[in-house]
Amino acid sequence: MRALPDGCADLVFADPPYNMQLGGSLTRPDQSRVDGVDDAWDKFDDFASYDLFTRAWLAQARRLLKPNGAIWVIGAYHNIFRVGAALQDAGFWILNDIVWRKTNPMPNFKGTRFTNAHETLIWAARSKASKYTFHYNALKMLNDDLQMRSDWTLPLCTGGERLKDAQGRKLHSTQKPEALLHRVVLATTKPGEVILDPFFGTGTTGAAAKRLGRHFIGIERDAEYGAAARARLKKIIPAGAEDLKVTRSQKDEPRVPFGQIVEAGFIKPGDILVSPNGKKARVRADGSLALGDITGSIHRMGAVAADAPACNGWTFWRLASQPDGHNIDLFRREVRRQMATAAH
């Protein structure tokens, strides 16, 4: 990480060692051994050593991110609380914590604790001032037109997706499902941007990035993992540019003031707008509304009519002459369509 230039990444996805602190081997009721995480790379002398390691790589991650960049870190109860504190201490601004609920978790064979059925992802901006990427509408579309929640139900990496060694055993003990990275990459990056994964493993981040038309930098010190990642990535064919387009957010659309709707003649001075609760406002020549003796923008007058602190006037008001019609946002969409047609 130290060899990379400042500000070279738009997003960091990190799946660091969890410092599992396992004491001895774990067996099933039939005394067969559970293939758990006992790799040398997951072992630390104590919490202080792990904290030092965490702060060091987080400092580099922040240096490598662009000002409007963001980071995802995944972990479990063994480490995620320590990582979260280190993120905040390093200057990152936490946006969400995501609970990845596994549909097929490993059972608690000893029956001494709850079955550990989830992991936690922390999503944080480089700083409080960062204008991070979030494709809200695309995630809503991915979720059947419902807001994407902070609890994601996805299976563990199994079957044909799981990479195996020469003996047919799983190659990497903590390989993540590509579906998880698909969602992260789709939600928080744009095509052509660069994703850095400092714990690349068998290349799941790179696989999702390549499929979705993003660039990636993967760092992995284990030669066997690195070779498997390269072989995996060679087989992936990126989606075409047209297929990478996602449902746009209204924030990405060109701004259209209500006055422009009046200028275009879709709504005329003197027309009456009606609110859902039956309040009526008259349109004035400058695009303001008169509601009784009070005047102001469609948003301010919407808040007055609704007796609310704020209001989106575009979705609040409709034309009185069209009692069964759509809200006035229909006219804004038409102006934007005309603008797009003229641009082409």
pLDDT tens digit sequence for 269-281:
999 999 999 999 9
DSSP string, 179-217: HHHHHHHHHH--TT-EEEESS-TTTHHHHHHHHTT-EEE
Q: How many CB atoms lie within 10 A of CB 197?
A: 26
- How sure is the predictor about 28, in pLDDT bands with cuts at 50, 70 and 90? very low
What is the SS3 assignment for 232? helix
Sheet of 280-283, strand order: 294-296, 289-291, 280-283, 272-274, 318-319
Residue 71 lies in a domain: yes
The one-character DSSP state at 122 is E
- Cα–Cα distances in angstroms (integers) from residue 280 to residues 87, 324, 332, in the given order: 51, 15, 20
pLDDT tens digit sequence for 115-138:
989 999 999 999 999 999 999 999
- How sure is the predictor about 111, in pLDDT bands with cuts at 50, 70 and 90? confident
Rounded Cα distance between 172 and 63, Å, is 29
Residue 331 lies in a domain: yes
Please provide residue 257's backbone torsions phi and psi, each rounded to the nearest 5 degrees. -70, 155
* Domain identity same for 209 and 266: no
Domain end, chosen from 191, 221, 244, is at 244
* Domain identity same for 63 and 204: yes
Q: Is the pLDDT of residue 113 over 90?
A: no
Residue 229 lies in a domain: yes
The one-character DSSP state at 27 is B
* Domain identity same for 119 and 161: yes
Arithmetic mean of pLDDT, 297-311? 95
* Domain identity same for 175 and 30: yes
What is the SS3 assignment for 330? helix
Closest alpha carbon to 156 in 217, 214, 115: 115
- How sure is the predictor about 341, in pLDDT bands with cuts at 50, 70 and 90? confident
Whole-number average pLDDT of the chain: 90
Domain end, chosen from 221, 244, 267, is at 244
- Low-confidence winner among 66-70, 155-159, 184-188, 322-326 (lowest mean pLDDT): 322-326
Residue 149 lies in a domain: yes
Residue 1 lies in a domain: no
The pLDDT score that the predictor gives to residue 30 is 52
Residues near 248 by beta carbon (within 8 Å), at least 6 away in sequence: 137
What is the SS3 assignment for 327? strand
Domain end, chosen from 214, 244, 274, is at 244
Q: Is the pLDDT of residue 217 over 90?
A: yes
Rounded Cα distance between 170 and 162, Å, is 7
The helix or strand, by DSSP H or E, that contains position 333, with its residue range, turns out to be helix 329-343
On whether the CB atoms of residues 31 and 23 are closer than 8 A, the answer is no
Number of folded domains that form the chain? 2
What is the SS3 assignment for 118? strand
Rounded Cα distance between 268 and 261, Å, is 9
- Location of structure tokens 């390269």: 230
Residue 2 lies in a domain: no
* Domain identity same for 84 and 178: yes
pLDDT: is 24 or 329 the higher one?
329
* Domain identity same for 327 and 195: no
The pLDDT score that the predictor gives to residue 293 is 93
pLDDT tens digit sequence for 283-301:
999 999 999 999 999 999 9
- Low-confidence winner among 62-66, 173-177, 202-206, 338-342 (lowest mean pLDDT): 338-342
* Domain identity same for 203 and 272: no
- How sure is the predictor about 26, in pLDDT bands with cuts at 50, 70 and 90? low
* CATH code, domain carrying 90: 3.40.50.150
Residue 4 lies in a domain: no
Q: How many CB atoms lie within 10 A of CB 207?
A: 21
* Domain identity same for 257 and 320: yes
* Domain identity same for 172 and 193: yes
* Domain identity same for 180 and 286: no
Q: Is the pLDDT of residue 32 over 70?
A: no
- How sure is the predictor about 214, in pLDDT bands with cuts at 50, 70 and 90? very high
Residue 52 lies in a domain: yes
- How sure is the predictor about 107, in pLDDT bands with cuts at 50, 70 and 90? confident
* Domain identity same for 225 and 271: no
Where in the sequence is the domain holding 35, given as residue range(s)?
9-244
Rounded Cα distance between 65 and 290, Å, is 48
Q: Is the pLDDT of residue 36 over 70?
A: no
The pLDDT score that the predictor gives to residue 15 is 95
* Domain identity same for 69 and 141: yes
Amino acid found at 146: L
Residues near 270 by beta carbon (within 8 Å), at least 6 away in sequence: 282, 283
pLDDT tens digit sequence for 222-269:
999 999 999 999 999 999 998 988 887 766 678 899 999 999 999 999
